[in-house]
Each structure stands twice: as C-alpha cells, then as structure tokens.
Structure 1
Amino acid sequence: MGAVDATRTDVLWLDWNESPLGPPPAAVRRVAAAARRLHEYPRHLLDEVTELAAARHGVAPSQVLLTSGVDEALDIAMTLVERGWAVEPGFDFHARVVAWGKPFLPIRLGPDWQPAGRDDIRATDAVFIAQPGNPTGNLIERDWIDEYRASAGIYFQDETYQEFCSAPSILGEELGPDVLVYRSFAKAWGLAGIRVGCLVGEAGLIARLEPLRRFMPIDAVSLSAAAGVLAEPDFVDALTAHVLRERPRLAALLRASGLFLDVRDTETNFVIARVERGRAAALVAALERLGVRVKPCDFFGLDDWIRVGVGTAEDHARLGEVLARLRPEFAPRAEAAAGPA
C-alpha cells in the first residue's frame, strides 16, 4: 500500500484517532506565545504542567511524573522489573519490553475479548494493561484487574481513552505502592501532535522513577500546548461529548454499509469492524485510493478487523458515500456472513 501525502487536504484521515474538532484553541494560543521564549529551557513549564495535571487528576504534584509519551513511561517502568506481561491482541507494549532486552509474556484474550488467567506472574514482573483496550476498544473486567494488581510487581494501567469510557478511572482509589497509571494528552485533549503524558502513582514510587527520566524530556512547545488545554479544559469536555454522540452513529453507518461481518461500538474514540477473512488489507487500500484512511488491526494482532476513528458528521457522510461505492466489490459472500466469527 503506497503512502498518502500527509499534506493533502482532500484525504479523510480516520486512521490515527486524531481530534475531529481540531486542536484546542487555548493550546494554540500558548504555543504561539511560547515561540518568543524558545531560547530558554522549559524549567518553569515542567513545574506548571505537573501542577496543572495533578489538579486535573485529583492528586498531589508529587504523584505526577511528566513523560514524553507512553513509550518513555513504559521505559521508565521497565527499569523496575525483570519481565513484562501484556494482553494480546492489544497495544504494542511488547516492543518496549523487548527493547529493554527483557522477556515478554503474552496474556491471551478469549473469544469474549477478556484476558485469560495466569498463575505464573511474579512479584518481579510488570503487567501492562490498556483500559479501555486498543484495538478492541472494550473494558477488561474489574475482578481480573484487581487480581493482577495484587500479584504483579508493577501494575501499569494505560488510561489513554479514559474520557470516552463508561468505567471510572482507578485514580479515584488508593493506588498502592506498585501501581502506575498513564494518562495521555493526545486523545480527548486533541494534542496527538505532541508527545506529552504523565505517570501517576504514590509519591514514593514517583520519587523512585523521577531520576530515571531523561533531562528535559519534553520540549517547550509541547509543554506549552499541554498547559494551555489543562488551564482551559472546556475543549476536553466538548471533544468528549462529540465522540460520545457520534461514535454510535459511526457504528450504525458501518453496519448499514453491508461491507462488514461484525461492527463493535467501543469505549474509545474509534469503532472497529470485521471484514471477510483475508480482505482487510484490500479494503483499506481501496478506501485509501478513494481518499479515506483507516487503520488495519493486524498490527495489533487482530486480523480481519479495521479501526475507524470518529470524525465529524460531514466526515461520516463522506465515508458512507465511499463505502457505498465499494459495496459491490467488498460485500461479504453469503457463506462468509453465515460462518463463525
């Protein structure tokens, strides 16, 4: 599949879960102002964003460690453990565990997309969970989470999609000395173009991790954008409300298209749909030729599924027109529609 020029304005980008409402205006204003201070190290901004993030998440600043995205957060966590576990199919936690030269062990999802039990997780292991999941978009049952929080040396919960889901964050609870929660500014905050997130944990654990963070790991522009949206969070509420309103409409559109064997509404800012076996790549390529980008889920280990980000009502109308054009070629055969998932 050939690459699409990212500067093209006629492409409908529904593949990377970017904000359909554009960037937060407050973040844009702060970034513009930051351009006049690019000659300075962002010392003051690290403290400002830490304090704002702590206030947003209802914790003390001593419980927050800013990181340059989830990869740095995972790298820091891996320094504390000998092995890493994660759900598969799922987000690619595997890559960071292996990058550290440490064993990775998968926790398989069952047919209901809930993780299987494991009785060989050690106190020197980390368990990495995305809640809600990616690309499945569903929630892991709370009993399972409680069990593995208790058995792992480090329990790491990635809550990147928290604002879009129906379950409360575990940040409202006593976390304990071996729990880390990652919160992203990319999705509900409309800042996918910057690399800022934060780890939240007990103050003692964060104090152990802080020396492991790289010197000034987040640039002044990214910190300024995060400060802007944290100081004026109305945009987060508006974007969250938009996704919750448009997500079921997108799922209904995909079901009505006649191209998919199954469509799952999710707890995230995307919807996933299953195509006839072995045809996901061809459908993704056909959509791209018609100016619509969606993401195949085989990268995450979920074959025959595609992920479609929630857009605007106008985006969905255009998507519907393109899907209608592709229906003669990609509508599942009768025997596929009647077969097992």
Structure 2
Amino acid sequence: MVAAHAPADGEALLDWNESPIGPPALAAKRVIDAAGRLHRYPRGLMEEVTELAAAHVGVAPDRILLTAGVDEAVDIALSLVERGWGTRPGFDGYEDRIRANGKRFHPIALGPDWQPASPPDQGLGEGDMVFLAQPGNPTGNLLPAAWIDAVRAKAQYVFIDETYHEFSTRPSVLHAARDEAPDGAVDKGLLVYRSFSKAAGLAGIRLGCLIGESTVIERLEPVRRFMPIDAVSLNAAAGLLEEPEFMVRLTAHVLEARTALCETLRGSGLFAEVRETETNFVLAKPWEWASAPMSRQFDRDLVRVKDCAAVGLAGWLRISVGSWDDQARLGASLGRVAK
C-alpha cells in the first residue's frame, strides 16, 4: 500500500527518510552561498567534509572515505572480497549491489521475530563480507550483539550499516571496537557506514562515509570514482556537520514522536500489530479487513506509507515519524477509516 503521489511539493506526509523539522539552517545557507560557484569544481570540499565527518564520528581523518550514498560504499567495499552475505528479510540494496558486481550472494535467514534463525554459517571465512544494517532495514530492530561478534570472528570482513544509528538505543559498533582494543589497535575486518543524508533527514542529497582501519581505507580510496559527490551535497554536509545541535534536535523529536506515532496507530484499532523500531519509522500490520479501505483513504488524504511486501515483510507498512502536524493529519485519516 503506497499512497498516491502529491500533485505539489509539501502536500503529502513525509517519506521515511525526510526530516520532520526541515533542513539544518547552516546546510541551507552553505548551499545558497555556493550557488554562485557551481561553475567551478568543489576543490577542497572533499577534504573539508572528511575532516568534519572524522570529528563527528570520533576517528582520525585517514579512517574516513566519503561516498555518494551506501550503494557506492557497498560497491567499493566489495572490491576486497569474492562473496557477499546479507540477511533476509533485509535491505535489498546489498543483494542488488553484490550481484551487480558479479559476486555471489549468500542469504542469512531471519526468523519470524526478525532475528537470526541459526548461528553464523560454517561456510563463512576468507573472501567473505557480511552486510548488516544496525538498526535493521526494513525491520528497524537490532541483531544480538553476541551474534554479530560471532559473525565478525568468522568472516574476513563485516560491513555494519549504521544509517539509522542516531535513532537507536545501542552504542555504535565503533565505540565497542575502541573498548575491545584499548591499545589503539583497529579491527581491519570491520567497515562501518554512516549516512549524513539519513541522519539529518536530507533526503535530497546522497552522501555518507565509510569508516575502517587506515590501511584498508587507503586500499579502497583508488576504487572510488573521481569526484563522486557534487558540490551541493558537499556544502550541505559541511553545513550540517558545523551545526551538530541540529542532529541532536532531530533525534530528540524522532524519539518523542515515534512513541506518540505508535500510540496513534494502536489507538486507531486498525492494526493487528505495531512495532516501535530503532529508526525514524515504525512498522504496522493492518487487520485484513482494514487494509483496502485504509489504502483508499490514504490515497485521498495524500498520506504516504510504504508497503513492505517487496522487502520481505508481507502485510506490514512502514510509516515515517513526521512532524506533529503530519502525525495529526495521519491520525485524522485513520479516524475517517475507522468510522
């Protein structure tokens, strides 16, 4: 069930990766200020944003590689290995990119509770990279830390996608890795991805960073395309990273509004189950009798939701945490269905 497209910007409720509180002020200012320089290459911006990103995540700049979104990060990382692994249900982009790069994909089955159904496969070893989103996508939940540790002990590389980390209750795997190696050593087999476009709800840009041990990043840098990130995205990211309080404010809103959104959905009586996730969206499973009338009403009211059937969660909807006005509109739409 996906609502109809809005005829004009701003009329529909937010999609799941858009900011419910607007863009960072400094990001918008930097983009506007840079408009008069779009005829020039963004010289020095990659280095500036790399420094800012390194400070933001708490690592040295030589451990950061900026990428044009997670797809490019996955493509680059795959140059290190022969095979890729990922969970099912899970983010289908990993499997798509693994296959597009001519590598073999191995699924890791999740059970009905969206947790691993068995210990890590005995086939894991040299030449393997396991892709895990934490929190998960589309499940929005966390895999057991002990299970992830077991995977890291077997696979040559583990790629942890922390796109939704800011909205999660679990510390970053980067913090855990530092605690595990107080002597300063860094796990060469661990790659971590962070998305600035998702963390700040800047859905209009494609920018993130791949974090790893410095010699691994040095090996990956030549694989990256020449100037893969445009000047607009770089300026937006620089402004965002110069305004850290924005992400604090966005996170605080999402955490408060996420709980309220779940209460609204449960209170409507239209859903058999509602799951409060560790991300900026929630998952809800409508009663069978409510699904069709809800879809029609959402179309009329320009309420955007995502049908999760295509990503392995048949019957579930992904609903974004929006502004308070957005969520009031959603509640009103649900009320019209329930009448």
| TMscore range, shorter length | over 0.9
Q: Corresponding residue for 1:325?
A: 336
Cα distance change of structure 1 residues 54 and 285 upon mapping to structure 2, 3 Å threshold: farther
1:101 aligns with 2:112: no
Query: Aligned with 2:80: secondary structure?
Result: coil
Give, in whole Å, the separation in 2 of the partners of 1:164 and 1:3.
28
Give, in whole Å, the separation in 2 of the partners of 1:280 and 1:96.
33
How far off is 1:50 after superposition?
A: 0.2
Cα distance change of structure 1 residues 286 and 82 upon mapping to structure 2, 3 Å threshold: farther
Gaps of 5+ in 1: 329-341
Which of 208, 211, 217 is the matching residue for 2:222? 211
Which of 190, 201, 208 is the matching residue for 1:179? 190
8 Å contact kept, 1:24–1:190: no
- Shifted more, 100-109 versus 236-245: the winner is 100-109
How far off is 1:278 after superposition?
A: 9.5
Report matched runs for 1:1-341 at 5 Å: 3-5=4-6, 7-13=8-14, 15-92=15-92, 93-116=94-117, 117=119, 118-172=121-175, 173-174=177-178, 175-276=186-287, 283-327=294-338
Cα distance change of structure 1 residues 282 and 128 upon mapping to structure 2, 3 Å threshold: farther
Query: Aligned with 1:198: secondary structure?
Result: strand
Amino acid at match of 1:50: T
Cα distance change of structure 1 residues 307 and 96 upon mapping to structure 2, 3 Å threshold: same
Segments of 4+ in structure 1 off by > 3 A?
Answer: 276-286
Query: Aligned with 2:310: secondary structure?
Result: helix
How far off is 1:4 after superposition?
A: 1.2
Query: Aligned with 1:218: secondary structure?
Result: coil
Superposed CA RMSD: 1.7
Give, in whole Å, the separation in 2 of the partners of 1:236 and 1:190.
9
Seq. identity, %? 57
- Shifted more, 105-114 versus 226-235: the winner is 105-114
Query: Aligned with 2:327: secondary structure?
Result: helix
Give, in whole Å, the separation in 1 of the partners of 2:281 and 2:77.
28
Gaps of 5+ in 2: 179-185
Q: Which has the higher contact order (CA 8 A, sep 6+)?
A: 2
Deviations 1:61-83 (A, max 9, x none): 00000000000000001111111
Cα distance change of structure 1 residues 82 and 313 upon mapping to structure 2, 3 Å threshold: same
Aligned pair count?
Answer: 327
8 Å contact kept, 2:283–2:316: yes
Give, in whole Å, the separation in 1 of the partners of 2:73 and 2:47.
18
Query: Aligned with 2:279: secondary structure?
Result: coil
Give, in whole Å, the separation in 1 of the partners of 2:95 and 2:270.
32
How far off is 1:281 after superposition?
A: 7.2
How far off is 1:279 after superposition?
A: 7.2
In the superposition, the TM-score normalised over structure 2's length comes to 0.92
Query: Aligned with 2:222: secondary structure?
Result: helix
How far off is 1:326 after superposition?
A: 1.4
- Shifted more, 120-129 versus 200-209: the winner is 120-129
Give, in whole Å, the separation in 2 of the partners of 1:130 and 1:80.
19
How far off is 1:280 after superposition?
A: 5.2
